[in-house]
Chains A and B, each alone.
Chain A
Amino acid sequence: MSDAPILELADVVKRFGSRTILDGISLSVAPREIVCIVGPSGTGKSTLLRCVNGLEDIQGGEIRFEQTRVEARAKSIKAVRMRIGMIFQQFNLYPHLTALQNVMLAPVVVHGEDRKIVEERARALFEKVRLSPRINAYPAQLSGGEQQRVAIARALAANPHLLMFDEATSALDPETVGDVLAVMRDLAVEGRTMLVVTHEIRFAADVGTRMVFMDQGKIVEDANPREMLAHPKTERARQFFSSIRG
């Protein structure tokens, strides 16, 4: 990985009141890396993603995305957000818009792109997430897995340089998880840069180029996924992986 990092976190600290959620996180992500963040719940994995696009502010350290310093309250944050696609656990589709309108809204309104060009691209994206027949459905008419695939299309529509998945499959029933993971796999093959918070260890091992194990607001291990799964260096990681394998 000789490329300059697309994202760099240096000693990032996040506190809610007196509780420390992120306790000195340093992480560097190169283009085309697929970094899977795993670990027990409540260790700050989602918070980490939310700090990267300024949904949360940080109390210490520094985050840089493509040379821009990420500051939640600064004007520059908009340009950062426009280049990062985020996929949420609860999909967060806009219920009053159709699937197509959901995908088209930000490119037209935020990026100021031509509606015709955006629509063409949106239709291609529906093809990619295998939802072309459902293009005019409203979110309430779609299953969870379908909604999440629309959400992925929505994130892709803005041509992001980084995709962040915040437990994208955790709210889905087991049958539809596979559809969403398949789409995420396609994106990985395309060479997208991805930051993936997940409990799907198998997916992380197959698709991830790197695995980051977090516990209590700290990065405990950072290695190749298969290596980490086969030979966790710390006792904490060993415990975690054995417990989730049941």
Chain B
Amino acid sequence: MNYTFTLRTVFPYLGGLVAAAEMTLTLSVLAILISLVIGAAVAVMRRSRLRVVRFAGAAYVEVMRNTPLLVTLYIVYFAAPAIGIRLSSFTAALLGLSLNAAGYMAEIIRAGLIAVPGGQFEAATAQGMTMGQMFRHIIFPQVFRTIYAPLGNQFIAVILASSLASAVAVEEVTSWMETVGANSFRFFETFVVAAVVYVVLCQTINLARLQIGRMLFRQPEARR
């Protein structure tokens, strides 16, 4: 046990790290946005008047939550070509990550939907709004205010889950870590650097979330 921790050994590889961090950030932010859209649709489906639609929504959530992300990624990247769907590793990772995260997003958004009083739906309906107008102008703004904090957890979970994209050959932070570790034999240093990069990325996205929240939700806390 006499390993000398010398960060300097990693310095030659830092150029690649910047590109890798950018890839992690791009992949995560896109996956967050896409999974929010899919999650919102699935959450609304789960409150449909039609049983088939409710069932489809519930089935989606259960399938995605009960499947390891790694398996989803393998299916999208390695198995899908067998039925003629050939995706680049980035597209495959983005798709797998988004589909998986949407299962969790749907449940969070569903909780927010339940918290909106029935009178809000009624007032909007009575004013002649279509479903789309109602969700856009009345329901989702209130939902997002309610779930803004738990959403933050999920955002971070997506960033950390993006590390699995290395398994389908996306050159992000974890794959940088593996490559550099193997080439330099300085595993301890590269692991620590990767960990720090993840902390910084998560904090960046969380701070951005908080800042956007301050701009979006200027109204005083509602009395319930």
Q: Are B126 and A110 in contact (CB under 8 A)?
A: no
Could you mark each residue 91-125 of chain B with 1 if its beta carbon is under 8 Å from any beta carbon of chain A, else 0? 00000000000000000000000000101101111
Given contacts A95-B222, A139-B222, A140-B220, contact A106 B119 (CB under 8 A): no
A85 vs B124: C-alpha distance in the bound complex, in angstroms? Answer: 11
Instruction: Flag whether B137 is at the interface (Cβ < 8 A).
Output: yes
A94 to B128, CA, bound (A): 15
Whole-angstrom distance between the Cβ of B135 and the nearest chain A Cβ? 12
Chain B residues whose CB sits within 8 angstroms of the CB of A231 once the complex forms: none
User: Whole-angstrom distance from the CB of A79 to the nearest CB of chain B?
Assistant: 8
A140 and B145 CA atoms in complex are apart in Å by 15
List of A residues within 8 angstroms of B129 by Cβ: 106, 109-110
Residue numbers in B under 8 Å from A55 (CB-CB): 122, 125-126
State in angstroms the CA–CA spacing of A92 and B124 once bound together.
Answer: 9
A84 within 8 Å of B by Cβ?
yes
Q: Are A96 and B128 in contact (CB under 8 A)?
A: no
| B127 CB contact (under 8 Å) in A96, A98, A106, A139 | A106
> Given the known A-B contacts A109-B137, A140-B220, are A92 and B123 also in contact in the complex, defined by CB atoms under 8 Å?
yes
Check B154 for interface membership: any CB of A closer than 8 A.
no
Neighbouring A residues of B128 by C-beta, 8 Å: 78-79, 81-82, 106, 110-111, 158
| CA A55 to CA B127, docked complex, whole Å | 11
Q: Contact between B123 and A105 (Cβ–Cβ < 8 Å)?
A: no
Give, as a whole number of angstroms, the nearest-CB distance from A36 to chain B. Answer: 20
In Å, the complex CA distance between A110 and B119 comes to 18
With A78-B130, A92-B119: A105-B125 Cβ-Cβ less than 8 Å: no
CB of A133 to closest CB in B, whole Å: 17
A55 to B129, CA, bound (A): 12
Q: For B122, what are the chain A residues with a Cβ–Cβ distance below 8 Å? A: 55, 88, 92
- Measured as residues with beta carbon below 8 angstroms from the partner, the interface class of chain A is 20 to 34
Interface contact B125-A109, CB-CB below 8 Å: no
The verdict on A53 contacting chain B, using a C-beta distance below 8 Å, is yes
Within 8 A of A (CB), among B22-72: none
B222 CB contacts on chain A under 8 angstroms: 95, 139-140
Seen from chain B, the residues whose Cβ lies within 8 Å of a Cβ on chain A are: 117, 119-120, 122-130, 133, 137-138, 141-142, 145, 217, 219-223
Q: Which residues in A have some Cβ–Cβ distance to B below 8 Å?
A: 53, 55, 78-79, 81-82, 84, 86, 88, 90-98, 105-106, 109-111, 138-141, 154, 158
Selected A-B contacts with CB under 8 Å, 29 pairs = A55-B122, A55-B126, A78-B128, A78-B130, A81-B126, A86-B123, A88-B122, A90-B119, A91-B119, A92-B119, A92-B120, A92-B122, A92-B123, A94-B120, A94-B123, A94-B124, A94-B138, A95-B222, A96-B141, A96-B142, A96-B219, A106-B127, A106-B128, A106-B129, A110-B127, A110-B133, A111-B128, A140-B219, A140-B221
